[in-house]
Structure 1
Amino acid sequence: MDSILERSSLAMPILEMKGITKTFPGVKALDDVNLSVREGEIHALIGENGAGKSTLMKVLSGVYPQGSFDGEIRFRGQPQAFRGIADSERLGIIIIHQELALVPLLSITENLFLGNEQASRGVIDWDAATLRARELLRLVGLHDPPETLITDIGVGKQQLVEIAKALSKEVKLLILDEPTASLNESDSDALLELLLQFKARGIASILISHKLNEIAKVADRVTILRDGTTVETLDCREAVVSQDRIIRGMVGRALSDRYPRRTTVPGDVLFEVKGWSADHPAHPGRRVVRDVNLTVRRGEVVGIAGLMGAGRTEFAMSLFGRSYGRNIRGQAFLDGREIDVSTISRAMANGLAYATEDRKHLGLVLDNDIRHNVTLANLRGVAKRWVIDHEREVQVAEEFRRRLRIRCADVFQETVNLSGGNQQKVVLSKWLFADPQVLILDEPTRGIDVGAKYEIYTIINQLVAEGRGVVLISSEMPELLGVADRIYVMNAGEMVAEMPAAEASQEKIMGAIMRSGETLMSGEALP
């Protein structure tokens, strides 16, 4: 390993980007940015949402072609002028975006070679494609049959398919934009290990991530962007680079505590769920939520922990207006009174709100501007006599833009043009404006930088200080331990444990999951 690090430290740059400046109408997204990546290194690119990370990578990959920006790109010492993504891919520069570009109803093989078909005289050679697919899947450690449909595998495996697709194009520089944002801890570790294997083979990687612990595990160097400019590049091999040091570079100040403190004094039970069950929407009789009971007190943050596939999102969506599942049964109570949550409008009328983890498909109208998205869940709040008051609508949107620090030109900017983290802030703004009594937050800080996370935690504290209840679903256990007052543990659709956050730990949570898994395998807990 020492020899690999030594070779990497002496290696010549495979990539040099100098003086990159990119301007959109009313916004300078990049301002004289410089980036150098060496042969065979893992180079982390970090910064707050809207700092310019994804824009810089789109410039590099040709999504933004030569002529649409100022500056110089050199790859392996040669100046480049990419007119499109095909030009960069021909040199082995492959980008994997945060939102995976796979076709769900095509097979793994078909996705691997989509646009790069294994063909002879215009006819696809499926035998050759399948054979090559098996080789690529073996390289990334994916053992599913190549004919498996993408829709039938989890997000972690889909990420491996994207990487296998990159390998099929003879990758020299692999760009990964938030590759672990949707992965659980074990899948994330497996992906990071794969990057280290690529490094040993001489493949360079640019890793964009808000998970600073992952950066510490694998990065050789770290370049920090802030407000579209290069702040500094840190060498992780010369000295230990602490997370606090990185945060200070990202946000321009120290964060003394990742989780804002509050004095918790929960009141009476505000919200209660009894005997909640739901079946899979496409497979009647396949139970995905099993007899769930849950309580939320006034002024309390209740966390739900669990691995991917545990049923947390399915439970939340089935509860919020039956927006997921079939054969849904159970009862919901607010202040001791049974409430009707059979439709989304009725759930909202009875004080519930649900901020989805899938912001692009379920949380936002991407072609609409920020103003319309923020007010969409509470049009009555910006209407006079059933007519939208456009001035009031702009005022509300501006208020949330300032409150959540949404980085944008103005509130008339289309949400599709925002960074992922800023899109998430718009989702949160929409539900905060709906003024719920109980707010269900499903992975609310996914893809969001540490500074913005702190702001969201502060808003959660404000909500519970007003006597509201918050249900927090998160795959980041430190977040649950730092924010929640009480934690439920979910596995295979069941609540398998409950504990005060003060008495919880990652080990206790994982222990509860493992013990429940053994019970399920023995058949004791199955209906």
Structure 2
Amino acid sequence: MKIEMSNISKSFGTNKVLEAIDLTINSAEVHALMGENGAGKSTLMNILTGLFPASGGNITIDGQPKLFTNPQEAEQFGISFIHQEMNTWKDLTVLENLFLGREIKGKFGLLDNKTMRKKASSAFEQLGVSIDLDAEIGGLSVGQQQMVEIAKSFLSDLKILIMDEPTAALTERETERLFSVIDGLKKRGVGIVYISHRMEEIFKTTDYVTVMRDGLVIDTKKTAETNVDELVRKMVGREIKDYYPEKTAEIRELVFEAEHLSGEKFTDISFSVKSGEIVGFAGLMGAGRTEVMRAIFGIDPLKSGIIRVNGKKLKIKTPAQAIQEGIGFLTEDRKEEGLVLDFSIKDNITLPSTKDFVHRGLFDDKTATTFVKTLSERLKVKATDEEQSVASLSGGNQQKVVLAKWIGIAPKVLILDEPTRGVDVGAKREIYQLMNELAERGVPIIMVSSDLPEVLGVSDRIVVMHEGKISGILTKEEATQEKIMQFATGGK
């Protein structure tokens, strides 16, 4: 199959997001699509698969004009799009999610569960993963949910597979398995569009790379004929010499203490964070890092243990209490827990600090708007104005809105769970710089990350977890990827 997108343009109202885009996708090739958040990558693929109509341009498949009116048509034609934000129904089982809208029925119109289970098992077997078909998908880890989304595309006669940040929530082992699956699909003649910000993945898995910036195609070339510096320069329109900006914050007095915390999935967790310090949490998926942070913030219950901020012993049972005590928490899943997608940028940013804008019983909209504009400009949120719905923003800009929300409460402690997941290289550096500025102001930061270079690049100390326990704590000087992985896998 050969797909040719020619002179594609797209506008949302007066906002032009794509202009004169040309892109060719071939069978048996892995084609990377790169660019900063908001560059138009996902929008272009949404036009191809019929989610959005183009404002102009043409699409041909094997030389014949072709326009899909919805994603289901595209899937039936063999073109599947695995989105960055997972499209799952949390209360349904894995099997029900896999076949929602494509149920297989028998002679009398009854569901043919035997055939569906067989097909589902085959899809997971190809991926090399074992997931209970009867489990509610909401109870699975983010990584397992991502594998379910990938498995969906194996249920049809797949010809072109589009992946938007497919490894963002996967463990190292799952990622390696995915690369093996991609290689197998390529050998079978499937064409793959691979949208990612992870440079090492681009050079490991792709044949061609197209760079987009501000709704334009900047360049397309063979992956083997380019390098990281060139791609970054084309993506952001400038050189980024230091991926991890130098941290100059002075580490001072003790602010946050966790003593012998135990919960459903972790035991005897003790660590501390000082003013101006960034403490990274590393470990494999399922190690319990996120669960510890959720318990500190009052989302999940603590069985035992003590939390102190500035020496004050806290009893936190709800997120509202955590916010009142000055704890901010950027969650791992921004779509489900970090944002109210139907709300505007302004409403999301002011949500945890609404009381600060109420004077004599009235909401001071003018002050709130100024506050939101200041934060949005500082974080470089790409939007038409502060009233724009966050659902219409790119993933990276949504992440910036969540960050702005927590910075807005002037936190005493800030917890960041996977702060740069699905964020482009330019925006990543902006987030790191912002973390450094917060540290300069004395804010203690706890960062959970599955990206080892990131953990090493921004942390003053690194706490490593394995199977619900702390297996090691390393200083910046002691830490290496090898040492972290040794602790993460249970070594000493």
Q: For residue 253 of structure 1, report the CA deviation from its aligned partner.
A: 0.7
Q: For residue 114 of structure 1, report the CA deviation from its aligned partner.
A: 2.3
Cα separation, partners in 2 of 1:349 and 1:202, compared to 1, 3 Å: same
Conserved? CA contact 1:340–1:350, under 8 Å:
no
* Structure 1 residue aligned with 2:39: 51
Measured against aligned partners, the alpha-carbon deviations of 1:416-464 in whole angstroms (never above 9, x if no partner) come to 1111111110000000010011111111111111111111111111111
* Structure 2 residue aligned with 1:469: 444
Q: 2 CA distance for matches of 1:102 and 1:344?
A: 25
Q: Which amino acid aligns with 2:393?
A: L
Q: 2 CA distance for matches of 1:144 and 1:183?
A: 14
Moved more, 485-494 or 155-164: 155-164
1:261 corresponds to which of 246, 263, 272: 246
Cα separation, partners in 2 of 1:314 and 1:152, compared to 1, 3 Å: closer
Q: Which amino acid aligns with 1:161?
A: V
Q: For residue 178 of structure 1, report the CA deviation from its aligned partner.
A: 1.0
Cα separation, partners in 2 of 1:149 and 1:435, compared to 1, 3 Å: closer
* Structure 1 residue aligned with 2:190: 203
Q: Which amino acid aligns with 1:210?
A: H
Q: For residue 275 of structure 1, report the CA deviation from its aligned partner.
A: 1.3
* Structure 2 residue aligned with 1:193: 180
Structure 1, unmatched stretches of 5+, are: 1-12, 280-287, 520-527
Cα separation, partners in 2 of 1:343 and 1:462, compared to 1, 3 Å: same
Cα separation, partners in 2 of 1:339 and 1:195, compared to 1, 3 Å: same
1:64-143 matches, within 5 Å, as: 64-65=52-53, 68-121=54-107, 122-143=109-130
Q: 1 CA distance for matches of 2:267 and 2:241?
A: 41
* SS at structure 1 position matched to 2:402: helix
* Structure 2 residue aligned with 1:405: 380
Q: How many residues align?
A: 491
Q: For residue 233 of structure 1, report the CA deviation from its aligned partner.
A: 0.6
- TM-score, normalised to structure 2, is 0.96
Q: For residue 159 of structure 1, report the CA deviation from its aligned partner.
A: 2.9
Moved more, 368-377 or 180-189: 180-189
1:496 corresponds to which of 460, 471, 474: 471
Cα separation, partners in 2 of 1:465 and 1:153, compared to 1, 3 Å: closer
* Structure 1 residue aligned with 2:5: 17
* Structure 1 residue aligned with 2:276: 299
* SS at structure 2 position matched to 1:502: coil
* Structure 1 residue aligned with 2:399: 424
Matched, 1:159 2:146: yes
Conserved? CA contact 1:355–1:363, under 8 Å:
yes
Q: 1 CA distance for matches of 2:186 and 2:105?
A: 31
1:37-48 matches, within 5 Å, as: 37-48=25-36
Structure 2, unmatched stretches of 5+, are: none
* SS at structure 1 position matched to 2:241: coil
Conserved? CA contact 1:39–1:203, under 8 Å:
yes
Cα separation, partners in 2 of 1:132 and 1:271, compared to 1, 3 Å: closer
Q: Which amino acid aligns with 1:298?
A: S
Q: Which amino acid aligns with 2:277?
A: E
Conserved? CA contact 2:248–2:436, under 8 Å:
no
Q: For residue 155 of structure 1, report the CA deviation from its aligned partner.
A: 3.4
Measured against aligned partners, the alpha-carbon deviations of 1:219-273 in whole angstroms (never above 9, x if no partner) come to 1001111011111112124x2x221211111001110000111235311211111
Q: 2 CA distance for matches of 1:105 and 1:71?
A: 40
Conserved? CA contact 1:274–1:332, under 8 Å:
yes
* Structure 2 residue aligned with 1:456: 431
* Structure 1 residue aligned with 2:168: 181
Conserved? CA contact 2:249–2:436, under 8 Å:
no
* SS at structure 2 position matched to 1:62: coil
Q: Which amino acid aligns with 1:351?
A: G
* SS at structure 2 position matched to 1:398: helix
* Structure 2 residue aligned with 1:7: none
Q: For residue 87 of structure 1, report the CA deviation from its aligned partner.
A: 2.2
Q: 2 CA distance for matches of 1:26 and 1:431?
A: 31
Q: For residue 349 of structure 1, report the CA deviation from its aligned partner.
A: 2.6
Q: For residue 195 of structure 1, report the CA deviation from its aligned partner.
A: 0.7
Q: For residue 120 of structure 1, report the CA deviation from its aligned partner.
A: 3.3
Q: For residue 152 of structure 1, report the CA deviation from its aligned partner.
A: 5.2
Alignment identity in percent?
40
* Structure 2 residue aligned with 1:5: none
Q: Which amino acid aligns with 1:272?
A: E
Q: 1 CA distance for matches of 2:73 and 2:317?
A: 52
Cα separation, partners in 2 of 1:30 and 1:147, compared to 1, 3 Å: same
Q: 2 CA distance for matches of 1:163 and 1:431?
A: 32
Q: 1 CA distance for matches of 2:136 and 2:364?
A: 47
Moved more, 46-55 or 119-128: 119-128
2:362 corresponds to which of 387, 403, 412: 387
Conserved? CA contact 1:318–1:328, under 8 Å:
no
- TM-score, normalised to structure 1, is 0.89
* SS at structure 2 position matched to 1:374: helix
Q: Which amino acid aligns with 1:40?
A: A
Q: For residue 145 of structure 1, report the CA deviation from its aligned partner.
A: 5.3
Conserved? CA contact 1:46–1:250, under 8 Å:
yes
Q: Which amino acid aligns with 2:246?
A: R
Conserved? CA contact 1:380–1:386, under 8 Å:
no
Q: 1 CA distance for matches of 2:425 and 2:77?
A: 34
Q: For residue 303 of structure 1, report the CA deviation from its aligned partner.
A: 0.7
